[in-house]
Amino acid sequence: MSASAILQSLTEMSHYLGVESRGYAIIGEGNTSARIDADHLYVKASGTSLATMKPSDFLAVNISKVTRLLDSRDATDDDVRETLKSSLVDEQETRMPSVETMLHALLYDYPEYNFIGHTHPVYTNSVLCSVNAEEAISGRLCPDHIVVMGRATVFVPYVDPGLVLAREVRDRVRVFVEKENQPPKAIALENHGFFALGPNARAVTNITDMAEKMSHILVGTYSMGGPQFMSAADIDRIDSRPDEKYRQERIA
């Protein structure tokens, strides 16, 4: 994919996620990114809105320059700002990349990801801002839930946004990959929102749509006595069935 095709796809994905009637993001909420190459990404500029993004509203950022700060234990808020600024490919750029750029950047360590969408969907956050957040997000409700979102979702308890959150996400994704032998398709942040991760823009919108629909259903199940999650054996079966694998590939 050429840089301009990536930007076009990223812009369209952002518009889809930013449509107000979907309830995924309003005003300046959410952020999106796409991989340019092994060490560069495009990310939404801070202060822009998903619904009205133009290709020029995305900034090219050097991935290893941003993620370097993750291992610096006593980094301050000023260090974060400085690092974000110095990671911009265009040295003349005066705008700042999204505050969550570090989080996006560290996820591109996994070659499976080319597009990432972060939103604050209404039903997903109804679940994630509830006392049952971790339990509710841990299960699978029906076969399509598994086909689109995989066997499990990474849950991240609330921590300070920015550097601390980025480190927490990095650790939890590593644990997930060790256990599941594959990178996650989704990350749920308690009291915050949702990350969809995919090889292309379509996968990101599909995962976000499915997460929001399943969260809507979850809210309903809690009014009916609680969710009846699928068993581990049934999840394994759907995840390994050849016809469901075919469906997974077609959808992505």
When the beta carbons of 205 and 227 are compared against Zn ion, the nearer one is 205
When the beta carbons of 16 and 24 are compared against Zn ion, the nearer one is 24
How many angstroms separate the first and last alpha carbons of the chain?
Answer: 16
A 10 A CB-CB count for 113 gives: 23
String of DSSP letters for 222-248: HTTTS--PPPHHHHHHHHH-HHHHHHH
The window from 65-73, 121-129, 189-197, 238-246 that contacts Zn ion (CB under 5 A) reads 189-197
Q: State in angstroms the smallest separation of the CB of 220 from Zn ion.
A: 25
Q: State in angstroms the smallest separation of the CB of 252 from Zn ion.
A: 24
What is the Cα–Cα distance from 197 to 41, expressed in whole angstroms?
14
When the beta carbons of 156 and 238 are compared against Zn ion, the nearer one is 156
When the beta carbons of 113 and 147 are compared against Zn ion, the nearer one is 113
- Tell me the residue number closest to Zn ion, measured at CB: 193
Q: State in angstroms the smallest separation of the CB of 54 from Zn ion.
A: 21
Interface with Zn ion (CB under 5 A), residue total 1
Query: Is the dihedral angle over the CA atoms 134, 136, 138, 144 positive or is it negative?
Result: negative
Tell me the two tokens of residue 231: 């068993």
Q: State in angstroms the smallest separation of the CB of 189 from Zn ion.
A: 7
- Residue with the two structure tokens 């990223």: 10
Q: State in angstroms the smallest separation of the CB of 80 from Zn ion.
A: 16
Question: For residues 242, 246, 248 and 252, what is the CA-based torsion angle, rounded to 10 degrees?
Answer: 160
Does 193 participate in binding Zn ion (rule CB under 5 A)? yes
Which residues contact Zn ion by CB under 5 A?
193
